[in-house]
Homo-oligomer: A and B are copies of this chain.
Amino acid sequence: MPYSPASGPLTANASGQPAASDDDPAAIGRRVRALREARGISLSALARQAGVGKATLSGLENGTRNPTLETLYAITAQLGVPLTAVLSAPASGATVRGAAVSATLLEVFEDSDVTYELYRMRVAPGPGQLSPAHQAGVTEHVTVFTGVLRAGPVDAPLTAAAGGHLRWASDVPHVYAAVGDEEVTASLLLRYPRK
Contact = CB atoms under 8 A, between A and B. Distances in A.
Contacts of A194: 34, 37-38
Classify the secondary structure of A's interface with B: mixed
Interface string A37-72: 111110000000000000000000000001111101
Nearest to A185: B109
Contacts of A145: 109, 111, 114, 116, 191
A126 interface: no
A82 interface: yes
A40 B82 contact: no
A19 B187 contact: no
Nearest to A49: B15
Interface string A154-183: 000000001101010000000000000000
Nearest to A35: B108
A8 B111 CA distance: 25
Interface string A1-18: 111101110000110001
Nearest to A194: B34
8 contacts: A4-B38, A25-B70, A31-B108, A84-B107, A87-B87, A106-B118, A111-B185, A143-B189
